[in-house]
Structures are given as structure tokens and as C-alpha cells.
Amino acid sequence: MGFGGIGPGSLILILVIVILLFGTKRLRSMGSDLGSALKNFKKSVKEGSEGDTEEKLENKQESVIEGEVTNKDKDKDKA
């Protein structure tokens, strides 16, 4: 048994039908197009995640608030 009840004979039959329908040249070009699309997708995901971390660091640095840190418990004791 193969994938989900499809045997090796059925897989070969499906492959032959696909080759007859599309032809080897078209299948080859579709495969290369799919490969380049996946490569570009991975590249854009990697660039996007790097850009997100840089933006987060910039936002953290910009959101620093200057002020005095106090302890509420100590302030109550003084009053």
C-alpha cells in the first residue's frame, strides 16, 4: 500500500496520464517555475522576519520614557 490506499501501480498510472496530458517540456517548466516561486517565498519570509526585529528594536528605543521611579510602599511610610 502507498499513500492513503493508493498503490504503486496506481501512482505509475497517474504519472503516465499526467505526462501524456502536459508533456515533458511543460512539466519541466512548471517544476522550475514552482521551484523559483518557493525560493522567492523563502527569501521574502527571511527578509520580512529580519525587518520585523529591526523595527521592534527601533520602537523600543523610541518608547523610552524619562521619569522618576518611585516605590508606593515607601511613599506611604513617609506620609
Q: Kindly report, residue by residue over 5-25, the tens digit of the pLDDT.
A: 888 899 999 999 999 999 989
Q: Which residue has the higher pLDDT, 43 or 57?
A: 43
Q: How far, in Å, CA of 10 to CA of 61, rounded? A: 60
pLDDT over 90 percentage in the chain: 39
Angstrom distances, CA of residue 24 to CA of 16, 20, 29, 40: 11, 8, 9, 24
Q: Are 31 and 39 in contact (CB under 8 A)?
A: no
Greater confidence (69 vs 9) lies with 9
Which residue do the cell numbers 522567492 mark? 40
pTM of the predicted structure, to 2 decimals: 0.46
Give strand pairing partners of 6: 3
DSSP-derived 3-state class of residue 3: strand
Give the mean model confidence (pLDDT) for residues 31-42: 94
The pLDDT value given to residue 47: 82
